[in-house]
Amino acid sequence: MSLTRDTVEEIRQYIRENCSTLFGKKFWECRTIALIQFSTKSDKYEQKFFVISKFRVFILHGKTPLHLKIDKKFNLLSLRAIQVISASKELSLSWEDRSGRSIVKSSIKCTEMEPIELAKSLLAALKHYFPDIGPSLQNFIAIVPSQLLSDFQSFPISTPKLLCNNFRRSYVAICDYYDQRYKDEVVWDIEHIYFTHDLHEIRLEDFSHLPVKDQITILACSQFSEYFTAISIEGTKLVSEHIEILFNIIRRSHSLKSLRLINCSLPKDFITHISAAISANIHIPLETLDFTGNNLDDRKGFQQLSTVLPKLTNLKSLYFTNCGLSEKCVTAISSGLISGFTMENSGKKLELRALGFAGNLLKDDVSELVNFISLCTSLRVLDLSSTSILIDRLWNNLKLGGLQLEVLKLSGCSTGKKSKEHASVVKELFGCMVNLKEVDFSNTQIGPDLLQGFLSGLSNNNQIKDVIVNLNGVCDKTCAPILEKFLIDCPIGTLFIRDSSLENEILPVLTTLRKMKSLTMLDIGGNNFYTLKSNKKYASIYSHISDELVKMMNESNLQELNLSDARIGETMHVILNALGVSKLTLLDISNNEMGNSGARLLSKALQLNHCLQKLYIDRNQITAEGFGELSNALKLNRTLQSMPTPIIDVSDAFGKPDRSRVLTAVSEIERYLERNRSEKCRNEELRQKVIHQLNNRSEKYEINSSDYKRIIFFEVIKVISDFGSEPAIRIPIDEVVDSIVSKLDQISKANDEKTLSKLKEALAEHGVEICENVEAKNPGQENYLRKSIKQLIENHLTEMSWATVFMKADRLLTSNNALKLRGSFSNGAIDHSVLVGYSKLNHRPASMVHDSSDTPSRTTSIDELNNGGSGATTPLVHLAKSRPRPAHRLRNIKDENGNTSSGIDSTPPLSSSTTNHNSSIMNNSTTSHMSQSSSSGDSNGSPLNRRAALLPPPPSASPQLYASVPDEPPSTTPPPIPRRTPNMPPKLPPKPESPAKSPIHKHNSSITSATSGSSELIDRF
């Protein structure tokens, strides 16, 4: 029974006004309402209403508005076929019934509008929610005639166009398709985070807190969107729903460029299914495929993939790291890559730039892989780490296709018995590479011959520089001479030689590393020093090694040094003492057993260092006391910006009673580091830097040979220090700032006009017109600009002024007659002065805490090391316990001449000769006895005297007042310091012997000499 025209209009009006009541709250409008003849069978048609509301299609039946019922409904994404039959004026539709997992076919006849217009209404609604779906339409919908596809581009675009290519609209339509709730937080993250940072890669980890079905709706948005060009999933176990939506994305997407599925527990047949998906969409612009960390050993699947790879002409990177592939799988991939590289009659060939098979055991048949390496000249990254591949088979092929490699990773590979024969090939290969940036041979025993060929090739290559070379676990004692001879001329910027067990052969290698001009980063930690530390017979070698490390820190171009896991122990104080004047910007001394005493020395070095920016100190058994020392040091340090919290040491210290001290110290350390990172005024930092630079160059000012120059030097340092502690000099720069701001304001106005003009044009293209001019000047902008410019000018002036201070002071101190002291101490005293006991140390002197006869001592200067001298070992001397006992019983002792002298309790009279002698020393000598004892060697005098000799005289006193009278002639040997005998239980007296056998009778002369020595001791007192 047909409906009358009035009834049809009434029903149409009712549907338009009550669509939310009929279909649901989210369907508040209808795009199309038409009366149709609908049939799901070939010969039976029924009169129904065809309605497109939002992203759904509804088929309704009913004779009155009150009797309307929904007969069919489906999402626009469920469409699988749209066919216009012109002969019968029918529209054939097919859609997916997700409830029954079947395809529904229907025929539609419409007298109100042409079938092709009805089809265009469906496609226009689809474009409203998915504006980028055009190129993907034919991948999941069969459309006839093809004219509809060409007309699709002319369909109107949804307005207003929302962020991320209408992600909000696409997401709500996809949520309806998968029957999932719309999540506002997902839209907020995409529109605020992804759009703000211009992120085009969907990271599933960003939404790992959501259920799997919600994650699927997010991934599905990338099927038809040009905004999302990459998908990254790492460490998330994928279920079958994830896998299925990924396959759909590959079948339908026309913008996906990168697919990274790392450690996702992919099924073994994944390669088979993804190969089929790629075959269904060979125009997908994939550039990166990364399946690292998935067990994918499927021979048949890789055979199928080898037929697909040649069609991916945009592919640039392919990674199958740690995928458990066999040689046959790798052979299949290599065959496919070779066929894609050698395709004939093709407009574009495969140009792979990165290939990675690391972690797959490849021992036997790798001929196809080797052939591909020889053919692919576009390859820039080759990673065959931990494959156990015989690298001897690669050298000749790399000469053919690998000369433009940038990264070559061959760690954990193997070499053959005849590897020596390939040394010349290796030398020629690395001598011809033009873009080499990184080489990794770690844990590959290449042997001395291949190592020599590699290093000699690098040294002969003038086209590369600052190469990163990893030789961890490669070298041994036999390779040390090779490193010593060939490293010095290699263009290596970063070198790793950890865990090489070089031990006592490392000393000449360190000397070579110090002389390398290009080396800026060195990692020499690990087990390179274990044997030397544990064996006492290598103590002298260990001492020289520590000295060489110090010289490397001071004299080389090294900027970063890694000594982690070396377990250097007490000898670490040598390096820490040298850190005060080091030029290093990064130092890693983790796991070196330095303890709180090492932390104390490190704090002293940090108070002087002005270059170090990053420091790593974890696993060093530091407790609350050590952290407190470090926090006090950072209070004075203005350059260190990063010191990651030593988690292990802090956690261990938390278990002790002084937990609150640890928390306080760690918080203070973080506060000072934050201050150094955000500090705007650099006056204090620059002051410290100038003082440190002058101290480091003090040996050029000849202060070792003259008290006069030494006093001038310390006066200059004191003045600069006082000068820097005063407030910065204020220069009237307001006029300069005003002129700059006015000029910038003029330039800004011209720039604003051009910018607004471009904005107006861009808005006009999107249908938006600016009707009136609105003032958009920011009132606080000028003040902010003025403040910023003023701060920049002040910082610049401060830096320039301190640079001028340094250069001026340096030149004045270098010149002989540029500075003069007022008073009695004149320049003429330079000619009469003797060698002063002040020696310039390029490091902090060895600490009393670490002085021990079992560990190498570090008390010599760098200049002495260069001249071949070595520092004397200084025993630990306690100022109270080591003082000699007073000889109260030594009274009326006769000397050799028979004269009787009084003991300690009586004071001998001062003779006139002694007075005259001391007076002459006071008047003529300009050298203090304390300095003289310091210069004579560290074994003479206590550490307190040695350190006092290094202190400058107070500026207020006359230099001559510090020339003390010596207590004895210089030739007199100081008395031995008696040892304290331990408290032992009394022993029985010895058995009496005859007078002839008595030791007293035999050694009577020894007693006489001892008595004479005691007499001399009493005279000196």
Residues 867-896: tens digit of each pLDDT: 444 444 444 444 444 445 554 444 444 444
- Could you tell me how many residues make up the chain? 1021
* 299: nearest Cα among 276, 275, 260, 329: 329
> What would you report as the CA-atom Rg of the chain, rounded to the nearest whole angstrom?
43
How many of the other CB atoms lie within 10 Å of CB of 218?
23
- pTM given for the model: 0.73
- The CA distance from 934 to 950, in Å, is 9
Q: How many helices (H) and strands (E) does the chain have?
A: 37, 25
CB 449 within 8 A of CB 457: no
Q: What angle do CA 29, 30, 34 make, to 5 degrees?
A: 160
Query: Quick one: which H or E segment has residue 85?
Result: strand 79-85
Written as one letter, the residue type at 860 is: T
Which tokens belong to 631? 């926090």
Which residues fall within 8 angstroms of residue 178, CB to CB, at 6 or more apart?
213, 216, 217, 220
Q: Look-up: residue for tokens 């520092």?
A: 871
How many of the other CB atoms lie within 10 Å of CB of 159?
10
- The CA distance from 546 to 777, in Å, is 64
Which residues fall within 8 angstroms of residue 395, CB to CB, at 6 or more apart?
422, 425, 426, 429
Phi, psi of 378 (to 5 degrees): -85, -5
**Which letter does DSSP use for residue 996 in this model?**
T
Which residues fall within 8 angstroms of residue 600, CB to CB, at 6 or more apart?
626, 629, 847, 849
Predicted pLDDT at 698 = 75
Predicted pLDDT at 791 = 76
- The CA distance from 768 to 749, in Å, is 24
Q: Look-up: residue for tokens 């520089």?
A: 465
- The CA distance from 744 to 48, in Å, is 70
Q: Per DSSP, what are the bridge partners of residue 92?
A: 83, 107
Neighbour-count burial for 288-307, b at 16+ CB within 10 Å, e otherwise: bbbbbbbebebeebbbbbbe
List C-alpha distances in Å: 173 to 53, 709, 962. 12, 85, 92
CB 859 within 8 A of CB 842: no
* 355: nearest Cα among 332, 376, 324: 376
Give the mean pLDDT per block of 10 residues along the chain (1021 residues): 84 91 88 91 86 94 89 94 88 87 90 90 94 90 91 85 90 94 94 92 95 96 94 95 96 95 94 95 95 92 93 94 93 92 66 94 87 93 94 92 95 84 92 95 92 94 95 88 93 94 87 94 90 78 89 91 91 87 91 93 91 94 95 92 94 89 95 83 72 77 77 82 63 80 82 83 79 66 76 80 83 80 52 39 52 42 43 43 47 46 43 42 39 39 43 42 40 50 51 47 44 41 36
Predicted pLDDT at 730 = 66
Domain boundaries, the chain: 5-155
Predicted pLDDT at 509 = 93
DSSP SS3 for 20 = helix
Predicted pLDDT at 518 = 94
Predicted pLDDT at 689 = 78
Average pLDDT, the chain: 80
List C-alpha distances in Å: 936 to 667, 703, 833, 929. 46, 18, 17, 11
Q: Could you give the angle at which helices 115-129 and 163-177 cross, rounded to 10 degrees? A: 110
Q: Per DSSP, what are the bridge partners of residue 587?
A: 561, 615
**Which letter does DSSP use for residue 422 in this model?**
G
Secondary-structure class of domain 5-155 per CATH: mainly beta
